[in-house]
């Protein structure tokens, strides 16, 4: 691919897909072409989009073709940020009938303008001293309205079980009972205590909120208060807010991207933005060190091929961008760990809420069951073998079963 | 409605819609309920969502009901900003099967925390001295890559025709040939000249771009350079960025919201966010003085009932929020003005691109044709009557016809 062009793939339908690609190539860049005088064409040529190809997937009853089209855009058309990119390749086009933004391929010169993840998989593993295994994260049972002491109790219980990370609820904005900075300090202290007891560090991801133009300052204050990680609702605040946090040398802390609102974009077959791009490529580009996304298991699961593609986008080589940790979420219990390991491999975070808090022995036992399951799969043992040595895992398998 | 609750309506499907509403009311607030001890219930009750009602619209082949459900959320669950709101009412829920966010009703105490439009319809009319008629806006034929002189020529041609506003292309981010602040100064000077010639002021809306946390500073510099209005890609940057611009006392300039990327949210019947909320209520709440949206005419038109509802949300009484100007866009030519007037009334901006630049006599004639059409409908005359006195309107009607 040319170092000077961005390659964009859309899923759409039209009588003639190639003609549609050509119309988009002109309409999304210089506006008109064939009616321009030759001198003007010469002048605007460097800004002109180009129809690269089309591929019919189905022929519809109305005779139209449904398929993929690819358009290339000159790099010079964009400033190097995601609002410019998305507006330029999908802004008004998103309103132009059935069309879904499926993929974007960036030249290295575009990628290198973005900081990407500040820590990435390697940096997070180093911070935690956790190598050669998936990480484990747990979620508060709930946050909203809980007295501070309840949250402290929950945090300690999860940490004692051996989780690597604990994250806030993404809806935790109104936190007057347990304010952001105070929470960070208090949980840091508890984390030090539990590390002294268990020998295992734990990272707390506090939900970063506030006016968008003050987020960097709020993040800096969080770091000063001892924050180890920030949770961030990227789509609610916009990708650029994440980009600017990741690019800020004073915000020395990994950022965990929550997928809240992603379902407003990805599930329609006809409209929106495909998950591997929305929660994969763009999140990594903008600088997420960890990315939560719906797991391909459970009641309302992400399409498996898309979940795997998403995870691949977070971890495959991509310019100089560090890797982001995939965090397939929802419906996770210890019996699923072998499946998770088969699907997402070593470099993932196993993330559970109900699968930890719902354990018959409570959250600490719930976390221990996951730790035993993760140790087992990495060692190539079955969960049943491991359960013989872990009463917590045995109880979890009894409750939730092994496998899906 | 209670002053202390936010009422949210979703379109969804379920075996039992009321039960689904109840599950959402718990799941999106305190997380669990029936299994909580009584003392905990007492403590969390103030944060608990409530299923208000459900209304079946269809029964599906699988026996499920498709319909509207309404859930009320305690105001205390949110900070008073749109990221908190959207994450709290639709964040993870958006990923939970077929569900579309349709409407939100805010108590005045929530509305009053937002600045809303700084100028609104009345303020813009005053700035322009334009009362008792729809306003007229034109769009550059294209911006990207054009030499500065070409843009100046285009600006002058449009202004001479009597338009009230001229706006940048929304894709105009990479503007090294005609940089933002220089453009603002240059067009301001041209606007002074054309006002001296025609007696009519014209407002230029420059596309505000840049890192999200620096937008307020960029906007201030634009105002210092003489900016009269800013165009803003709200969905690409996030509603909160608009909110903070509107709330900034140093950004004394009306803001025009572009709907770029809106099509990633609204067209699916099953997913996303409904247009009247997405481009109506939320844009006004966040502070847009003018809101562009796809017109209900033309090839790829917005559903007419939704377009009218959107427009109503922008203009109906809503706490202390000023009114936003509806700007139905795309496919507009002078022959459509009576239809626009019938549908959207006095308080709208007639917005044309091709319908001005494509006029056989050029952009100035194209603008004059619109001015004549607008004057005619306001005076209760037919376009044919007006065309007898306006050669430009006659030529436009000849080219595009009268009506749709």
Share of residues in chain B with pLDDT > 90 (%): 95
Min Cα–Cα distance to chain A from B217, Å: 10
Residues of A whose CB is below 8 A from B262: 94-95
**Chain A closest CA to B117's CA: distance in Å?**
18
Q: Please judge whether A265 and B267 are an interchain contact, meaning their C-beta atoms are less than 8 angstroms apart.
A: no
How far from the centroid of its chain's Cα atoms is residue A95's Cα? 26
Q: What is the number of domains present in chain A?
A: 2
Query: Is the same domain home to B188 and B281?
Result: yes
Same-domain pairing of B195 and B70 = no
Same domain, B323 and B381: yes
Judge if A164 and A220 occupy the same domain: yes
**pLDDT tens, A196-213?**
999 999 999 999 999 999
Chain B contacts in chain A segment 341-400 (CB below 8 A): none
Residue B362 CB-density burial (10 A; 0-12 exposed, 13-18 middle, 19+ buried): middle
Residues B260 and B368 in one domain: yes
Query: DSSP strand E in B268-390: where?
Result: 272-273, 290-294, 325-329, 349-352
Domain final residue pick, B111, B137, B167: B111
Boundary residue ending a domain (B44, B76, B111)? B111
Are residue B284 and residue B337 in the same domain, yes or no? yes
Q: Can you read off the two tokens belonging to residue A42? A: 């010469």
Which residues, 6+ apart, have CB-to-CB distance to A183 below 8 Å? A148, A151, A175, A206
B263–A95 C-beta distance less than 8 A: yes
Quote the distance between the C-alpha of residue A281 and its chain's center.
9
Considering only alpha carbons, which residue of chain B is nearest residue A147?
Answer: B43
CB of A259 within 8 Å of any CB in chain B? yes
Residues B54 and B177 grouped into a single domain? no
Domain end marker among B88, B111, B134: B111
pLDDT 10s digits, A238-251:
999 999 999 999 99
Q: Which two tokens stand for residue B128?
A: 């322009």
CB distance A74 to A46 below 8 Å: yes
Q: Is A92 a catalytic residue?
A: yes
Tens-digit pLDDT string for chain A (404 aa)? 567 999 999 999 999 999 999 999 999 999 999 989 999 999 999 999 999 999 999 999 999 999 999 999 999 999 999 999 999 999 999 999 999 999 999 999 999 999 999 999 999 999 999 999 999 999 998 889 999 999 999 999 999 999 999 999 999 999 999 999 999 999 999 999 999 999 999 999 999 999 999 999 999 999 999 999 999 999 999 999 999 999 999 999 999 999 999 999 999 999 999 999 999 999 999 999 999 999 999 777 899 999 999 999 999 999 999 999 999 999 999 999 999 999 999 999 999 999 999 999 999 999 999 999 999 999 999 999 999 999 999 999 999 998 76
Query: Is beta strand A99-105 parallel, antiparallel or unpaired with respect to A50-59?
Result: unpaired
Range of the domain at A299: 120-400
Domain match, B107 and B152 both: no
Shared domain for B54 and B127, answered yes or no, is: no
CB contact, 8 Å: B56 with chain A?
no
- For residue A296, the chain B residues in CB contact (below 8 A) are none
Sign for the CA dihedral angle at A280, A286, A290, A292 comes to: negative
- Assess whether B222 and B196 both reside in one domain: yes
Q: A299 contacts in B (CB within 8 Å)? A: 97
Give the neighbor-by-neighbor strand order of the sheet with A255-258. A325-329, A290-294, A255-258, A229-233, A203-207, A165-167, A135-139, A349-352
Q: Does ipTM exceed 0.85?
A: yes
B179 membership: H or E segment, kind and range: none
Q: Which of A42, A171, A359 to mutate to test the interface with B (most CBs of B within 10 A)?
A: A171
Mutate to test the interface with B, among A213, A242, A282 (most CBs of B within 10 A): A213
State the burial class of residue A183 (Cβ atoms within 10 Å of its Cβ: 0-12, 13-18, 19+). Answer: buried
Chain B residues within an 8 Å CB radius of A267: 95, 98, 268, 270-271
Cβ contacts of A99 within 8 Å, gap of 6 or more: A10, A11, A12, A93, A270, A271, B263
B211 interface with A at CB cutoff 8 Å: yes
Residues with Cβ < 8 Å from B27, sequence gap 6 or more?
B93
Residue of chain A with shortest Cα separation from B264: A272
Instruction: Please give the residue of chain B at the shortest CA–CA distance from A245.
Output: B213
- Residue B219 and residue B328 in one domain: yes
Catalytic residue among A40, A45, A92, A304: A92
CA distance A127 to chain B (A): 29
| Cβ neighbour number for residue A226 with a 10 Å cutoff | 17
Q: Is A93 in the B-facing interface, judged by CB distances under 8 Å?
A: yes
Are B192 and B210 in the same domain? Answer: yes
The answer to whether residue A29 neighbours chain B at the CB level (below 8 Å) is: yes
Chain B residues with CB-CB distance to A300 below 8 A: 95-97
CATH code at position A151: 3.20.20.110
In the beta sheet, which residues pair with residue B232?
B257
Tell me the shortest Cα–Cα distance from B91 to chain A, in angstroms: 4
Closest B-chain CA to A264? B272
Q: For each successive 10 residues of chain B (404 residues), what is the average pLDDT? A: 86 97 97 91 96 97 97 97 98 97 96 96 97 97 92 96 97 96 98 96 98 97 97 98 98 98 97 98 98 90 94 96 97 96 98 94 96 97 97 97 80
Q: Under an 8 A CB cutoff, do A76 and B174 touch?
A: yes
Contacts of B358 in chain A (CB under 8 A): none
């Amino acid at each position: 691919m040319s170092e000077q062009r961005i390659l964009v793939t859309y899923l759409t339908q039209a009588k003639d897909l190639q003609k549609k690609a050509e119309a988009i190539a002109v309409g999304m860049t210089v506006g008109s072409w064939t009616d321009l005088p030759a001198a003007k064409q010469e002048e605007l040529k460097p800004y002109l989009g180009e129809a690269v190809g089309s591929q019919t997937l189905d022929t519809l009853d109305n005779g139209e073709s449904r398929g993929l089209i690819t358009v290339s855009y000159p790099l010079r058309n964009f400033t190097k940020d995601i609002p410019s990119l998305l507006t330029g390749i999908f802004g008004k086009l998103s309103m132009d009938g059935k069309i879904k933004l499926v993929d974007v391929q960036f030249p290295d010169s575009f990628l290198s303008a973005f900081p990407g993840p500040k820590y990435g998989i390697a940096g997070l593993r180093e911070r935690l001293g956790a190598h050669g295994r998936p990480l484990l994260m747990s979620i508060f049972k709930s946050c909203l309205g809980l007295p501070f002491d309840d949250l402290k109790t929950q945090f300690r219980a999860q940490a004692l079980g051996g989780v690597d990370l604990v994250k806030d609820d993404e809806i935790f904005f109104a936190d007057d009972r347990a304010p952001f900075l105070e929470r960070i300090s208090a949980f840091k202290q508890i984390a030090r205590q539990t590390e002294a007891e268990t020998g295992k560090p734990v990272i707390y991801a506090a939900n970063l909120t506030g006016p968008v133009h003050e987020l960097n300052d709020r993040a800096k204050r969080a770091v000063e208060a001892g924050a180890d990680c920030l949770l961030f609702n990227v789509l609610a605040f916009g990708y650029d807010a994440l980009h600017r946090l990741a690019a800020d040398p004073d915000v020395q802390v990994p950022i965990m991207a929550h997928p809240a609102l992603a379902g407003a974009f990805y599930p329609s077959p006809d409209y929106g933005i495909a998950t591997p791009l929305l929660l994969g490529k763009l999140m990594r580009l903008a600088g997420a060190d960890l990315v939560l996304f719906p797991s391909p298991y459970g009641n309302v699961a992400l399409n498996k091929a898309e979940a795997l593609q998403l995870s691949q986008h977070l971890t495959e080589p991509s310019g100089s961008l560090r890797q982001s940790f995939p965090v397939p979420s929802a419906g996770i219990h210890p019996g699923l760990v072998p499946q998770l390991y088969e699907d997402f491999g070593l470099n993932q975070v196993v993330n559970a809420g109900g699968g930890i808090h719902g354990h018959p022995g409570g959250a600490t036992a719930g976390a221990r069951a996951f730790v035993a399951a993760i140790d087992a799969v990495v060692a190539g043992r079955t969960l049943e073998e491991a359960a013989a040595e872990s009463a917590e895992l045995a109880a979890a398998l009894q409750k939730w079963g092994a496998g899906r």
